[in-house]
Structure 1
Amino acid sequence: MLAFVTVGSTRFDSLVQAVLSQPVLSTLRLKGYTRLVVQCGNSSFELASSISGEKTLVVEREGVDIELWNFKPTLQKEYESADLVISHAGSGTILDVLRLGKPLIVVVNPTLLDNHQQELAAALADLGHLQHSTIPDLAQTIQSFEPSSLTPFPPFDGSRFAKLLDEHMGFS
């Protein structure tokens, strides 16, 4: 099974370091994940200098084959092939993954200045669409995570926006 981790377009050093740690890798392996792909962005971590530019690094740790790289033009292929996505709490990433029906664990970046990521992650977790975690709790969150307990995310309905726009413009 494949777990995919994305930090988005910024730095999220602590998430990259956490997913490469022995506790998280061992937990992933115990849950049946034998492959881990990590989109590292501009994060700083032990192996970061080995993947500068467009390089990809492949290593093995704790019985998990790990592929690390910084950026790609799109992450659609990675989302589609993943059995589990662990992500920063960016709204675009969350929506992309939920619309594909993929199990998602969201980790809020505590270094960001405002609280919008925490609010979004908590609201979607309360609705049952995803699981959210902190860095210190990530291994335990993975261990206890049951994707079958998630509530499917509703499909996009463009008519709701059109109705809202019509009401705002006085057309209804």
Structure 2
Amino acid sequence: MLAFVTVGSTRFDALVEAVISESVLSTLRDSGYDRLILQRGNSVIDSSEELIGESCTIQRHGVDVEIWRFKPSIQVQCEQADLVISHAGSGTILDVLRLGKPLIVVPNPTLMDNHQEELASALQILGHLKATSIQDLASTIASFEPRNLVPFPPFDGTKFSKLVDEEMGFI
């Protein structure tokens, strides 16, 4: 099974380091994941010289790990993944939820405002995803049950156009 991790275009060193740690990789392996793709963005990896380049593939703690910085799109990786672990960026969350993929989000606590935490919390309350912290990532993966997630509703553009029409006084 494949787990895909993305930090988007930001820098989220703590999530990148956590994902390639022994505790998280061992938990992924024990949960049936034998492959991990990590999109690290601008994050810096302190673990090993071999992980500093633009991309690499390693085998660590029983998991085949592919690491790269950026690609034009992460659509293919999201579609192929059995689990997505992501920063709590709104664009990434919506893309993954619209694909119907199980999603664990880790809000970045270093950001100035608390928008990632607020969004993650709201969507977790609605049952669409699981939110966690860096410290609890391994235990969250171990206890994660995708079957308990509530499917995200499909996009309905008519709601927005109706809202605009109402605001403009057309209806």
Fold shared by both chains (TM-score > 0.5): yes
Aligned to 2:104: 105
Aligned to 1:4: 4
Counterparts of 1:81 and 1:111 in 2: how far apart (Å)? 30
Please report how far the alpha carbon of residue 47 of structure 1 lies from its aligned counterpart in structure 2 after TM superposition.
4.2
Q: Give the number of equivalent residue pairs.
A: 170
Aligned to 1:141: 140
Please report how far the alpha carbon of residue 119 of structure 1 lies from its aligned counterpart in structure 2 after TM superposition.
0.4
Aligned to 1:56: 55
Residue 30 (1) aligns with residue 40 (2): no
Structure 2 matches for 1:76-87, cutoff 5 A? 76-87=75-86
Aligned to 2:85, the other structure's residue is in SS state: strand
* Aligned residue identity for 2:26: S
Aligned to 1:72: 71
Aligned to 1:165: 164
Please report how far the alpha carbon of residue 31 of structure 1 lies from its aligned counterpart in structure 2 after TM superposition.
0.4
Please report how far the alpha carbon of residue 56 of structure 1 lies from its aligned counterpart in structure 2 after TM superposition.
2.0
Which contiguous aligned blocks of 4+ residues in structure 1 show a shift greater than 6 angstroms? none
Aligned to 1:67, the other structure's residue is in SS state: strand
* Aligned residue identity for 1:140: S
Of all paired residues, the percent bearing the same amino acid is 66
Counterparts of 2:18 and 2:52 in 1: how far apart (Å)? 18
Q: Which runs of 5+ in 1 are unaligned?
A: none
* Aligned residue identity for 1:23: S
Please report how far the alpha carbon of residue 50 of structure 1 lies from its aligned counterpart in structure 2 after TM superposition.
4.2
Counterparts of 2:48 and 2:23 in 1: how far apart (Å)? 18
Aligned to 2:152: 153
Q: CA RMSD for the aligned pairs?
A: 1.1
Please tell me whether the aligned partners of residues 128 and 152 of structure 2 are also in contact (alpha carbons under 8 angstroms): yes
